[in-house]
Structure 1
């Protein structure tokens, strides 16, 4: 697999980074313009999803939102966000009210990293 062009542009790669840049490059066929578009879309979608989760009362709707975000996270290589979503899906199905605090933290960290990449 070729290294991500985003990694080359940003001048850095970071082990355990919030975005797996190799996976991102693979999913976008190494097209830097597409990588940028996909990262912008993820930031927009993830922020909108967190806003909706904050006010959503319906458990099925919450589950759908988390599941959709999990798929988007995997598509851009945001593996930590995807893992948190997967755990949250399990928690949502449980008897206790599931907290989204871990998801909020993972999304904020990932979006901050994306901003650094795009500005770098």
Structure 2
């Protein structure tokens, strides 16, 4: 991540930011190249997970997808995504299904933030 990239999102840093950059740096041991790699991986994985959730009919597979996304989100410091995943998991276990619009919203927000962060 270039310093100019960090400056572009500095107005969206802190507790309100979709990605906790301190958590990301901690989890990647401050390795900027690794940060970039895991952010790209998250974007790809989260997008494909949303696509799969939309078409999947097997509830256990859906639960596994949401659970995996929750872990990936926590690994990069995307706590909003992880929290929505956790709530969705609970609803899915109780009712057998749950709407994923809220998940789509926070994933798209995180991915937009990542794109801004990596641009430059």
TM-score, reference length from structure 2: 0.90
Residue pair 1:6, 1:35 contacting (<8 A) in 2 also:
no
**TM-superposed deviation, 1:28:** 0.5
* 2:75 partner SS: helix
- Distance in structure 2 (CA, Å) of the matches to 1:6 and 1:105: 27
TM-score, reference length from structure 1: 0.90
Question: Where do residues 109-120 of structure 1 align in structure 2 (5 Å cutoff)?
Answer: 109-120=109-120
Q: Unpaired runs of 5+ in structure 2? A: none
- Distance in structure 2 (CA, Å) of the matches to 1:118 and 1:96: 38
Query: How much is the aligned-residue C-alpha RMSD, in angstroms?
Result: 1.6
Residue pair 1:24, 1:77 contacting (<8 A) in 2 also:
yes
Q: Which residue of 2 aligns with 1:73?
A: 73
Question: Where do residues 36-75 of structure 1 align in structure 2 (5 Å cutoff)?
Answer: 36-75=36-75
Structure with greater contact order relative to length (CA < 8 Å, sep ≥ 6)? 2
Which structure carries more helix by proportion? 2
Structure 1: which 4+ aligned runs deviate by more than 4 Å?
Answer: 5-9
> Matched residue pairs, number?
116
